């Protein structure tokens, strides 16, 4: 794509850029080749700076990499830590890794339909084996969180470099994408969504193939690997990337010159389809279970997890600059997405730079493709109804697609990622364009980076720290004291329950010594309406909790209830009403549940009399 | 293209062969498209206010509030004062015993010049209607003249004139404010200045024209006069910074001419200015309360048909209950046109001057703090000037007027610059879209201001000679509804009777004189709450201000009746839509 032609004005020659073939912009007389060693050195400098930034943004975990993580979503990160145990364990044990019975009291639970990121889990196995399962999953989680933005930034830099031939502008473009607010949001606990390399990788590869800079075989192989890797990490991003790829190709087919269109439709698109097909074959078991396996309750409703129109320009508490002044506005964004998912913020400098590039290069077909695709992504991210500062206004086209099952499971707000990618590319093009005001442009770039700089030491309005969370397990798990009170394979009900606590990590750290009567955020279909589960999760008020809990304990054959000291809330009293007694072991109160649990005694007569009155 | 270079757009296309006798008429009079523009604007406003047209003296093309009565009253007061040898700038007839300084409020003596004869001929409501019909037409036509001069394209200028003459600002103030709807002076002064800078008019002639316009503007609204002077100064500074050396000299010359015109205006209005400083301002602006919300430029209010219901959830959070301050809406197509104009011709000096001056107006209109959907965020430049003299009397959102003017000019030039059929079609499509976006909502109704057109039929008690049977000439009357409370039209009652009685009430701004303000009842009556101590307060108010009659409009008596009875006032008559109360001991009026 000749997006770089957006800056097609006569300009002095700049000594940057190199490639396997003559770069696009070289034909404009602006670029000369430089020493490949110099480019390599710049590459290392860029990677080093990205790595330093990633380390700084997540510096809270550096001091305690085995217990602290950069996140805030309590139990959500432990899903991925659990998966790091489950996938190698299941493969080594020869059981079906896509369906687990280790959660939800033995119910068949389909991991294919969830973000369990098997690829990441398997990649981390050597680390976990070396460090041991007590520290390993947390350290691996931290390492992956560090690697993801660097990978995205480096790939985005490569893409921008290909388009602009300016290492500086490419570095900034890479930064804006790699350290986008989308990434900062997902850093809160959604490891699968932190890995956002696929759209950039596909853009870069397609661009290279369009220019005939790589062979067909290499293009198909690399694309297939990228797609398969994304399938193995997050099917959601793979799906949205596929959808927007269709949009990009469609728009390009409309605007590209005849020769380029022929090459695009005749060569690149069929080969890309081949790569997707190959990746689909590679990931066919995962896709099979994702589409046809046991059903899992649907996640956040796509109608609700949408971006507010202002979320593109109003910072949330995740960003340092302006977060206090705009806190009230940010708090009005649609609550289903919340601060943890509303990662669409671009900041005014980035937006203005990208707009300037769009205006300057509107006559270039590549820029039109970029802009129109970004607009489509933006509209998609806004969901079925346009929200303006929290107020619903007009219906949007997404309303039509949301009724389809596949689209209905996507959170529109996350499609903002592609707007950020387009903005990063646009900004890099604007920055690289020859101008008398280069210092001013670079000042804008620095201000733009400041605008999306994370609020690393900040707190959410409700109190907890944004970029640090302690996931340390009690001595009950770490010192192996569970062995003295739990039987192997026994089903344990952990309190705090589900993602309110870290029981998934406990199971990983004990290498599946016990089964859990809880699990991931999404419940098996049979348990979605369970009153006990909803009460344990805090979703329903506690009305007759003892009766509901008793039914749940019996139905799931739960052998013990493990309540973390000081985090049990009202449940120790409920358990006492069931006649269960606690044994304090390593910071956890363990209640043995007999197979024949006595019925809940009637309330005392005085209370009943008061009720009658 | 012009020779000077400040305006690198085509000059107005003048007819090459003038018809016989054409020299007797000025260019603007001979401009056929100017007449078309005025005709279209007139037809449109008559269509919008068709009920007022059909019932000229009973239905007002405005909201039923106390605001319009100020000017209706003044058109009776000024001839009354002159014929009785009184100072027209000081009155004792309302807020009795006064004196009340009319120079410090929104008197608009210039509007009285056509208002007085029209009032004498057709009555106050009809006079008000006729002037309200004329205001957007003249303002739009003036903007058309400016745009025609700068763009050279008649139809683009007609379009631009419409966006200015029927802008959100104009429509908002067409609800009530006679002093603020006459906004033809700013574009005409800019036109004269542009011609002066391009040496198409002599300095002397420009001085005369600008002085005349400034005198009119001062007579219409001192607020508009001040803000206009401010933006002309801003335009001079920005234009001077953008201009090459030779042009800077001309801009400086034009600035000197404008300054001279300002001095002459000050001389002409010197007594008025002197009088205005003799009393504290009773009508003041609200810098912190009425900023233009950032979103208000994009989202329509109830006053516009398209999208007002859809975006009501957002706009209801933006605006206060006062729709007359919803001045800002431009609509997305018009904004796109202006942005396109700025981007496509940024290298031109005129573009930079227009865009930057508009931007200054835009930023100042946002007020003291940037407000986004009702959420205050950070301080804006207005914060530094809000406490300065005169600035503290302004209402920031009204500065959107100058944004409308800048946008109209930009849109006209951009439309005129279309090359080729495709480009023209696209640009005109956008222009038509912006007309659709700016189409007013005839069904405009709000709880506070009701609707765009309202029934101003006055009680028969005042429109006939009935009042003479129950009130002595010069007696002090307490009217209910009071002052500017809902339905408070007592100034019009007084005007209808030819200043027959004095009022222990009044309305020229929300600030009551101190002798009234000290009594809590004066505010209670405005907000229509009758506290338990109201009877005592009423007696105190009436004794202090020598009130002998209380007039209560039919339909509003239930809320006041207990208070009036407890205070010892008795009903003497219920006639002609008015209930007349006198003190119990006073007995009936001898003339009855």
A contacts of B300 (beta carbons < 8 Å): none
How far is Cα B63 from Cα B108, in angstroms, rounded to an integer?
19
pLDDT category of residue B144 using cuts at 50, 70 and 90: very high
B contacts of A326 (beta carbons < 8 Å): 375, 377
pLDDT category of residue A34 using cuts at 50, 70 and 90: low
pLDDT attached to residue A521 = 79
Tell me which residue in B313, B377, B378 faces A391 most closely, judged by beta carbons.
Answer: B313
A310 in B contact zone (CB under 8 Å): yes
| Residue B284 to residues A124, A348, B106, B527, B563, Cα–Cα distance (Å) | 70, 36, 10, 19, 32
What pLDDT, in 10s, does the model give residues B170-220?
Answer: 999 999 999 999 999 999 999 999 999 999 999 999 999 999 999 999 999
Least confident of A77-86, A110-119, A124-133: A110-119
pLDDT attached to residue A264 = 94
How far is Cα B255 from Cα B232, in angstroms, rounded to an integer?
9
CB contact under 8 A, B313 and A393: yes
What pLDDT, in 10s, does the model give residues B436-471?
Answer: 999 998 777 776 677 888 999 999 999 999 999 999
> Average pLDDT of chain B?
89
CB contact under 8 A, B311 and A393: yes
- Report the 10 Å Cβ neighbour count for B568: 15
Three-state DSSP string of B419-449: CCHHHHHHHHHHHHHHHHHCCECCCCEECCC
Angstroms from A396 CA to nearest CA on chain B? 13
Evaluate if residue A458 carries a pLDDT over 90.
Answer: no
Angstroms from A315 CA to nearest CA on chain B? 12
ipTM: 0.80
Tokens, residue A119: 């690829």
DSSP bridge partners of B25: none
- A 344-373: CB under 8 A from B: 359
Nearest C-alpha neighbor of B48 from the set B184, B176, B166, B181? B166
If one compares A528 and B140, the residue with the highest pLDDT of the two is B140
Q: Across residues B527-533, what is the average pLDDT?
A: 85
CB contact under 8 A, B375 and A329: yes
pLDDT attached to residue B10 = 44
How far is Cα A66 from Cα A137, in angstroms, rounded to an integer?
8
Evaluate if residue A30 carries a pLDDT over 80.
Answer: no
Evaluate if residue A603 carries a pLDDT over 70.
Answer: no
How far is Cα A369 from Cα A249, in angstroms, rounded to an integer?
8
How far is Cα A258 from Cα B467, in angstroms, rounded to an integer?
87
Burial (0-12, 13-18, 19+ Cβ within 10 Å), A199:
buried
Alpha-carbon torsion, ordered A285, A290, A291, A296, to 10 deg: 140
pLDDT attached to residue B283 = 60
B contacts of A388 (beta carbons < 8 Å): 295, 299, 311, 314, 373
What pLDDT, in 10s, does the model give residues B18-53?
Answer: 444 455 778 888 889 999 999 999 999 999 999 999
Longest dimension (CA), chain B: 85
A583, A565 contact by CB (below 8 A):
no
pLDDT attached to residue B25 = 77
Evaluate if residue A464 carries a pLDDT over 80.
Answer: no
A447, A436 contact by CB (below 8 A):
no
pLDDT attached to residue A299 = 54
A contacts of B313 (beta carbons < 8 Å): 391-393
CB contact under 8 A, A314 and B372: yes
If one compares B356 and B319, the residue with the highest pLDDT of the two is B356
pLDDT attached to residue B282 = 63
DSSP bridge partners of B552: B480, B579
Burial (0-12, 13-18, 19+ Cβ within 10 Å), A8:
middle
What pLDDT, in 10s, does the model give residues A212-256?
Answer: 999 999 999 999 999 999 999 999 899 999 999 999 999 999 999
pLDDT attached to residue B286 = 66
A contacts of B298 (beta carbons < 8 Å): none
Least confident of A178-187, A403-412, B133-142: A403-412
The helix (H) or strand (E) run that includes residue B340 is helix B332-344
| Residue B353 to residues A126, B237, B359, Cα–Cα distance (Å) | 66, 9, 10
pLDDT attached to residue B147 = 97
A227, A238 contact by CB (below 8 A):
yes
Evaluate if residue A579 carries a pLDDT over 70.
Answer: yes
DSSP bridge partners of A68: A470
- Percent of chain A beyond pLDDT 90? 58
What pLDDT, in 10s, does the model give residues A515-571?
Answer: 999 888 788 888 878 899 989 988 888 888 888 999 999 988 999 999 999 888 899
How far is Cα B416 from Cα B155, in angstroms, rounded to an integer?
9
Q: Across residues A357-386, what is the average pLDDT?
A: 93
How far is Cα B26 from Cα B46, in angstroms, rounded to an integer?
27
CB contact under 8 A, A325 and B377: yes
Tokens, residue B410: 């930009």
> Which of A327, A386, A389 to mutate to test binding with chain B, by most B CBs within 10 Å of its CB?
A389
Q: Across residues A360-387, what is the average pLDDT?
A: 93
pLDDT attached to residue A13 = 38
Nearest C-alpha neighbor of A60 from the set A72, A48, A50? A72
Tell me which residue in B307, B314, B343 faces A389 most closely, judged by beta carbons.
Answer: B314
For residue B97, cis peptide bond before it (omega within 30 degrees of 0):
yes
- Percent of chain B beyond pLDDT 90? 72
B211, B325 contact by CB (below 8 A):
no
pLDDT category of residue B389 using cuts at 50, 70 and 90: confident
Least confident of A470-484, B273-287, B347-361, B498-512: B273-287
pLDDT attached to residue A399 = 80
How far is Cα A346 from Cα A401, in angstroms, rounded to an integer?
26
What pLDDT, in 10s, does the model give residues B563-578?
Answer: 999 999 999 999 999 9
Mention every residue, 6+ apart, whose C-beta is less than 8 A from residue A343. Answer: A180, A181, A182, A183, A184, A185, A186, A318, A413, A414, A416, A417
Evaluate if residue A189 carries a pLDDT over 70.
Answer: yes
Quote the crossing angle between the two packed helices A197-210 and A235-255, to the nearest 10°: 30
Nearest C-alpha neighbor of B220 from the set B114, B130, B62? B114
> Average pLDDT of chain A?
87
Chain-centroid distance of CA B280 in Å reads 21
What pLDDT, in 10s, does the model give residues B97-125?
Answer: 988 999 988 889 999 999 999 999 999 99
pLDDT attached to residue A376 = 96
DSSP three-state, residue A599: coil
If one compares A512 and B321, the residue with the highest pLDDT of the two is A512
Half-sphere exposure in the Cβ direction for A504 (13 Å, CA): 27
A112, A293 contact by CB (below 8 A):
yes
User: Per CB distance under 8 Å, which residues of B are interface residues toward A?
Assistant: 295, 299, 307, 310-311, 313-314, 317, 343, 372-373, 375, 377-378
pLDDT attached to residue B285 = 61
- Percent of chain B beyond pLDDT 70? 92
Where do the DSSP E strands lie in A283-418? Answer: 385-388, 391-395
How far is Cα A406 from Cα A385, in angstroms, rounded to an integer?
19
Verdict on whether the full-model pTM lies above 0.90: no
């Amino acid at each position: 794509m000749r997006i770089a032609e957006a800056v097609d004005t006569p300009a002095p020659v700049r000594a940057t850029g190199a490639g396997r073939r003559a770069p696009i912009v070289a034909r404009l007389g602006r670029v000369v080749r430089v020493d490949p060693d110099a480019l390599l050195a710049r590459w290392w400098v860029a990677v080093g700076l990205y790595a330093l930034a990633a380390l700084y943004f997540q510096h809270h975990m550096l001091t305690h990499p085995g217990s602290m993580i950069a996140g805030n979503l309590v139990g959500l990160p432990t899903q991925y830590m659990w998966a790091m145990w489950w996938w190698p364990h299941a493969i080594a044990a020869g059981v079906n890794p896509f369906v687990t019975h280790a959660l939800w009291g033995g119910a068949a639970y389909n991991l294919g339909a969830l973000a369990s990121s098997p690829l990441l889990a398997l990649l981390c196995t050597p680390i976990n084996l070396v460090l041991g399962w007590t520290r390993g999953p947390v350290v691996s989680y931290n390492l992956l969180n560090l690697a993801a933005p660097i990978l995205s930034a480096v790939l985005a830099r490569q893409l921008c470099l290909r388009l602009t031939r300016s290492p500086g502008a490419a570095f900034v473009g890479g930064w804006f994408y790699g350290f986008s607010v989308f990434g900062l949001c997902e850093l809160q606990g959604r490891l699968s969504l932190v890995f956002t390399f696929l759209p950039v990788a596909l853009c870069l590869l397609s661009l290279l193939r369009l220019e005939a800079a790589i062979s067909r075989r290499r293009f198909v192989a690399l694309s297939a690997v990228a797609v398969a890797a994304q399938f193995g990490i997050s099917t959601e991003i793979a799906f949205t990337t596929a959808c927007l790829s269709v949009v990009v190709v469609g728009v390009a087919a409309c605007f590209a010159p005849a020769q380029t269109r022929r090459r695009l439709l005749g060569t690149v698109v069929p080969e890309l389809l081949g790569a997707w097909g190959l990746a689909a074959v590679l990931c066919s078991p995962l896709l099979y279970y994702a589409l046809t396996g046991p059903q899992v309750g649907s996640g956040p409703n796509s109608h609700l997890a949408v971006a507010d129109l202002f979320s593109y320009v109003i910072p949330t508490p995740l960003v340092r600059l302006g977060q206090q002044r705009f806190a009230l506005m940010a708090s009005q964004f649609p609550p289903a997405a919340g601060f943890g998912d509303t990662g669409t913020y671009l900041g005014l400098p980035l937006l203005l730079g990208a707009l300037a590039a769009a205006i300057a290069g509107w006559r270039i077909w590549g820029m039109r493709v970029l802009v129109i695709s970004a607009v489509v992504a933006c509209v998609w991210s806004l969901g079925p109804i346009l929200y303006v500062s929290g107020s619903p206004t007009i219906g949007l086209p997404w309303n039509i697609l949301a009724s389809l099952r596949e689209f209905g499971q996507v959170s529109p707000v996350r499609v903002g990622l592609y707007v950020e990618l387009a903005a990063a590319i646009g900004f890099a093009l604007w920055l690289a364009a020859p101008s008398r005001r280069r210092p001013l442009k670079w000042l804008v770039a620095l201000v733009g980076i400041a605008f999306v700089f994370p609020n690393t030491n900040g707190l959410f309005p409700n109190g907890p720290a944004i970029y640090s969370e302690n996931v340390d397990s009690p001595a009950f798990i770490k010192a192996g004291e569970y062995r003295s009170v739990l039987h192997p394979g026994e089903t344990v009900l952990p309190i705090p329950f589900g993602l309110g606590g870290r029981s998934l990590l406990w199971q990983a750290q004990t290498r599946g010594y016990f089964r859990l009567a809880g699990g991931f955020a999404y419940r098996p279909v049979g348990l979605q309406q369970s009153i006990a589960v909803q009460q344990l999760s805090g979703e329903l008020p506690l009305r007759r909790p003892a009766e509901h809990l008793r039914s749940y304990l019996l139905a799931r054959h739960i052998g013990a209830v493990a309540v973390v000291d000081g985090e049990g809330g009202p449940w120790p009293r409920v358990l006492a009403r069931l006649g269960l007694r606690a044994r304090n072991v390593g910071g956890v109160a363990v209640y043995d549940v007999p197979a024949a649990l006595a019925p809940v005694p009637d309330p005392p007569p005085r209370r009943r009399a008061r009720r009658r009155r | 293209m012009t020779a000077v270079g400040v305006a690198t757009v085509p000059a107005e296309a003048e007819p090459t062969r003038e018809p016989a006798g054409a020299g007797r008429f000025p260019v603007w009079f001979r401009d056929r498209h100017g007449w078309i523009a005025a005709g279209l604007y007139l037809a449109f406003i008559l269509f919008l206010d068709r009920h007022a047209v059909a019932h000229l003296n009973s239905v007002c093309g405005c909201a039923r509030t106390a605001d319009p009565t100020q000017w209706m009253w003044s058109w009776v007061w000024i001839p009354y004062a002159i014929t009785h040898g009184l100072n027209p700038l000081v009155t004792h007839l309302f807020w009795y015993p006064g004196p009340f300084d009319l120079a410090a409020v929104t008197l608009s003596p210039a509007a009285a010049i056509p208002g007085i004869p029209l009032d004498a001929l057709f009555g106050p409501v009809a006079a008000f209607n006729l002037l309200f019909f004329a205001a957007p037409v003249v303002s739009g036509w003036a903007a058309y003249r400016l745009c025609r001069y700068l763009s050279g394209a008649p139809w683009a200028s007609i379009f631009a004139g419409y966006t200015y003459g029927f802008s959100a600002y104009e429509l908002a103030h067409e609800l009530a404010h006679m002093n603020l709807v006459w906004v033809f002076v700013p574009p005409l002064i800019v036109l004269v200045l542009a011609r002066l800078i391009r040496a198409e008019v002599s300095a002397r002639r420009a001085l005369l024209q600008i002085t005349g316009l400034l005198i009119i503007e001062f007579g219409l609204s001192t607020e508009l006069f001040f803000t206009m002077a401010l933006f002309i100064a801003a335009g001079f500074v920005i234009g001077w910074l953008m201009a090459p050396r030779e042009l800077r000299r001309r801009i400086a010359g034009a600035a000197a001419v404008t300054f001279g015109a300002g001095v002459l205006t000050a001389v002409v209005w010197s007594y008025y200015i002197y009088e205005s400083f003799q009393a504290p301002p009773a009508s003041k602006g609200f810098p912190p309360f009425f900023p233009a919300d950032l979103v208000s430029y994009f989202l329509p209010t109830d006053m516009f048909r398209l999208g007002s219901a859809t975006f009501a959830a957002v706009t209801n959070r933006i605006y206060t209950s006062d729709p007359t301050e919803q001045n800002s809406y431009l609509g997305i197509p018009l904004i796109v046109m202006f942005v396109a104009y700025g981007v496509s011709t940024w290298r031109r000096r005129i573009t930079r001057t227009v865009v930057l001056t508009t931007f200054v107006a835009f930023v100042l209109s946002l007020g003291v703090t940037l407000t986004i959907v009702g959420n205050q965020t950070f301080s804006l430049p207005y914060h530094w000037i809000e406490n300065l003299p005169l600035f503290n009397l302004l209402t920031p959102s009204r500065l959107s007027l100058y944004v409308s003017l800048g946008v109209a000019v930009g849109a006209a030039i951009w439309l005129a610059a279309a090359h080729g059929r495709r480009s023209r079609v696209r640009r005109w499509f956008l222009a038509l879209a912006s007309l659709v976006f700016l189409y007013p909502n005839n069904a405009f109704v709000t709880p506070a201001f009701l609707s765009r057109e309202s029934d101003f039929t006055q009680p028969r008690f005042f429109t006939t000679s009935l009042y003479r049977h129950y009130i002595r000439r010069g007696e002090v009357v307490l009217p209910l509804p009071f002052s500017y409370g809902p339905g408070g039209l007592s100034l019009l009652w007084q005007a209808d009777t030819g200043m027959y009685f004095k009022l222990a009430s009044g309305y020229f701004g929300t600030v009551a004189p101190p002798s009234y303000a000290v009594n809590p009842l004066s505010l209670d009556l405005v907000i229509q709450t009758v506290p338990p101590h109201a009877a005592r307060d009423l007696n105190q108010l009436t004794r202090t201000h020598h009130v002998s009659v209380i007039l209560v409009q039919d339909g509003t008596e239930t809320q006041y009746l207990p208070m009036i009875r407890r205070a010892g006032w008795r009903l003497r008559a219920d006639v002609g839509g008015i209930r007349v109360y006198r003190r119990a001991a006073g007995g009936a009026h001898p003339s009855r």
